[in-house]
Structures are given as structure tokens and as C-alpha cells.
């Protein structure tokens, strides 16, 4: 069932201090959400975003949360339920990326655990805190998970990131099917798989054939609209859908030849990431 607006809804966004997360929170404030809950590990940026959105008329609640730690998620969720109540719209946006080297050249092995914890495990733990109440309720509710096109095709120099996003996509879409199977049509799950976005997170990464670096506002606008529509899967841009389709039908050698020739397999060679 389509949701025209989040007006009157309670919205929670992870990774909300900057980038896509901040833009999602802005959309919620703009549409008149009853409350907007911001989670982020960056306390200074989080406070600035909370103050800015409060100044725009939003009912903002912000929590410093390290979503790589399940206990921190559980503690923050309990505080949200006490302070705000149940959540109607959950945006699993928090994510990190490590890349540019081959897997066997990994120097900091903690990056593996951190990447999987934030990109793959956190959406599960966060959703598990709020989904039961959504299911038990009767009003329209949404779970929006930002995965990645890296979860659709293999990509060198970002193997752990790709693994984390394959996991996020598989989990998120499976939960969608579970909700449909159980007859909870008032709760829908939308999974978004974009290519590289100009948030700074993928600085140095290169676009490939017919696939420029995506504009963050356009990604958020599309994701927000399709989340309200209850669209199951959003793949951005169309070339990523084509790559996925061809990867599914071509023999592996031809698939590799195609993805290498259009630039996918070379897209992370000059990756630097966001400057700290």
C-alpha cells in the first residue's frame, strides 16, 4: 500500500549526521514527521545536524551510537522507545567502505570486522529492535535499507565491502518476503542498491560506461519516493541493472570480460575515500 507522506510518523535514521543520512532526515522534517531520531557515532556533526533540523521546525532526537556494537544498539533503542515511542519509518543508512587494495594485502584486519559489523550486522540488529512493534501495529510502516550495487556483482579491490553489501541485500529482501508471507502487508521493506555516490565516501572511485558518479540528492529523492511506494528493490542507475542481468546469464569468463571492459573491475583503483 502506498504511503503518500511521512507526516505524523516517527522516523529513525542511522548514519544521520551527514551525507545521505542527513538528507533522509531533512526529507522527514520537510514532510512533517512527528519525530525524527538521528543516530550517528560522530558526536560533533550529529549535534550540528540536530540543531540545524530543529531550526527548520523538526522535532529532533539525537543519540550518539556506535552501530558496530550490538549492545550499543540495544541500549540506544531502549532510550528511543522511552523518549519517542515506537518507530514507523526506519532508514538503515550507516555504512563504511575500505578499499583500493587486494584482499591479501589487507593490513588492518580489524577493518574486516568493522565493515561487516556496520554494513551487514547493524541493519539486522537495528531492525530487530523496531520491526516487532511495526508488525504488531496496524499503521503503515517502512524499513529502508541502503545496500549497494556492490551487492549485485563481484568487484575487485573492495571484496569485504562487497561481501557486506551482498549480506545486507540478501537479508533485507528475505525479510521483505517473510513479511509478505506472514500477511503483514502494512510493513514493507525497500532495499536500495546504488553505484558510487558523491558523498565523499567514495572519493577517488571512478564511474564506468554510462554510469557516472551519482548525485546524492537524486539518490535520496528516488529512495525516499520508492520507500513510500513500498517498492521492494531499487537499483541505481539503469546500467547497474543491466550489469546484474548480464552477469546472471553470461558464462563467468564472458561476464568478467564484459565488466572489465566497461570499467567496473577498474573503478576502485584510485579510491581514496573521505578525507578525515
Please tell me which residue in 102, 125, 161, 196 is annotated as part of the active site: 161
For residues 159, 259, 264, 164, the Cα torsion angle rounded to the nearest 10 degrees is -30
Burial of 252 (0-12, 13-18, 19+ CB in 10 A): exposed
Active site residue 196: no
- Residue with cell string 557516472: 212
Contacts of 109 (CB under 8 A, 6+ apart): none
Helix ranges (DSSP H) in 117-251: 122-136, 159-181, 216-229, 238-249
Please confirm whether the linkage preceding 237 is cis (ω < 30° from 0): yes
d(CA 112, CA 129): 25
Region class of 2: left (phi > 0), else alpha (psi between -120 and 50), else beta? beta
Among 16, 9, 6, 4, smallest CA distance to 126 is for: 16
Query: Residues in the chain, how many?
Result: 276
CB 104 within 8 A of CB 273: no
- At residue 191, the 3 state secondary structure works out as strand
Contacts of 105 (CB under 8 A, 6+ apart): none
**Active site residue ranges:** 161
Amino acid at each position: 500500500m502506498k504511503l503518500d507522506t511521512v507526516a505524523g510518523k516517527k522516523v529513525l535514521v542511522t548514519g544521520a549526521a551527514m551525507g545521505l543520512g542527513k538528507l533522509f532526515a531533512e526529507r522527514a522534517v520537510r514532510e512533517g514527521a512527528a519525530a525524527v531520531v538521528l543516530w550517528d557515532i560522530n558526536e560533533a556533526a550529529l549535534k550540528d545536524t540536530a540543531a540545524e533540523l530543529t531550526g527548520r521546525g523538526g522535532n529532533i532526537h539525537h543519540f550518539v551510537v556506535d552501530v558496530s556494537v550490538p549492545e550499543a544498539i540495544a541500549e540506544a533503542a531502549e532510550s528511543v522507545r522511552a523518549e519517542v515511542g515506537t518507530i514507523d519509518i526506519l532508514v538503515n543508512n550507516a555504512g563504511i567502505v575500505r578499499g583500493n587494495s587486494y584482499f591479501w594485502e589487507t593490513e588492518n584486519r580489524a577493518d574486516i570486522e568493522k565493515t561487516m559489523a556496520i554494513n551487514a550486522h547493524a541493519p539486522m540488529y537495528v531492525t530487530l529492535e523496531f520491526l516487532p512493534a511495526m508488525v504488531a501495529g496496524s499503521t503503515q510502516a517502512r524499513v529502508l535499507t541502503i545496500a549497494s550495487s556492490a551487492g549485485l556483482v563481484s568487484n575487485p579491490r573492495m571484496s569485504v565491502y562487497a561481501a557486506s553489501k551482498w549480506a545486507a541485500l540478501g537479508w533485507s529482501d528475505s525479510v521483505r518476503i517473510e513479511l509478505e508471507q506472514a500477511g503483514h502487508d502494512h510493513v514493507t521493506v525497500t532495499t536500495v542498491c546504488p553505484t558510487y555516490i558523491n558523498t565523499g565516501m567514495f572519493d577517488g572511485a571512478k564511474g564506468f560506461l554510462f554510469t557516472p558518479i551519482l548525485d546524492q540528492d537524486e539518490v535520496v529523492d528516488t529512495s525516499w519516493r520508492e520507500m513510500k511506494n513500498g517498492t521492494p528493490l531499487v537499483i541505481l542507475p539503469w546500467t547497474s541493472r543491466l550489469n546484474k542481468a548480464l552477469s546472471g546469464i553470461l558464462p563467468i569468463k564472458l561476464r568478467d570480460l564484459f565488466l572489465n571492459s566497461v570499467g567496473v573491475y577498474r573503478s576502485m583503483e584510485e579510491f581514496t575515500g573521505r578525507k578525515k
